[in-house]
């Protein structure tokens, strides 16, 4: 089980922001911005490169979830960044697709 599966199963604690039957959003334990939340599908998709056509709906709902989470955390209007890491060179550390929502300060480009 990945750390995200353990959070979903409530085997380890997390600061949960929002949740539905399909996804859960919680604060990152190593935040890179004042607002840093992970939005994770409850069904395991190892990474975006492994997503299938049958994952299309949940992938869309993750993006729509970012609106809800950004609104709840007060960054909807000021702006935020969504990041999906894929593979080792992409910065992926947990093999369970997740969307990083970062905000609460100006974010530089390129991200590094």
Q: What's the CATH number where 81 sits?
A: 3.30.428.10
Is residue 47 in some structural domain? yes
Residue 112, pLDDT above cutoff 80: no
Is residue 112 in some structural domain? no
Instruction: State mean pLDDT over 30-50.
Output: 96
Is residue 30 in some structural domain? yes
Of the residues 36, 50, 96, 98, only one is catalytic, namely 98
Query: In the structure, what pLDDT confidence band is assigned to residue 12 with cuts at 50, 70 and 90?
Result: very high
Structure pTM?
0.95
Is residue 108 in some structural domain? no
Is residue 111 in some structural domain? no
Is residue 109 in some structural domain? no
- Cβ pair 107, 78 in contact under 8 A: no
- Name the domain count of the chain: 1
Residue 6, pLDDT above cutoff 70: yes
Residue 90 sits in which domain range?
Answer: 3-103
First to last CA, the chain: 30
Is residue 15 in some structural domain? yes
3-state helix, strand, coil in the chain (%, to 5): 30, 20, 50
Backbone φ, ψ for residue 3 (5° rounding) = -60, -35
CA atoms within 13 A on the CB side of 10: 1
Q: Is 100 a catalytic residue?
A: no
Task: Give dist(CA 105, CA 64) in Å, integer.
Answer: 22
What per-residue confidence (pLDDT) applies to 40? 98
Is residue 70 in some structural domain? yes
């Amino acid at each position: 089980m990945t750390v995200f599966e353990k959070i979903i199963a409530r085997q380890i604690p997390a600061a949960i922001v929002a949740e539905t039957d399909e996804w859960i959003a919680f604060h990152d334990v190593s935040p890179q911005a004042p607002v840093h939340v992970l939005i994770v599908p409850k069904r395991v998709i190892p990474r975006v490169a492994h997503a299938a056509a049958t994952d299309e709906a949940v992938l869309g709902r993750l993006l729509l979830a970012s609106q809800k989470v950004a609104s709840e955390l007060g960054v909807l209007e000021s702006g935020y960044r969504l990041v999906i890491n894929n593979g080792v060179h992409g910065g992926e550390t947990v093999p369970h697709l997740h969307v990083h929502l970062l905000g609460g300060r100006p974010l530089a480009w390129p991200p590094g």
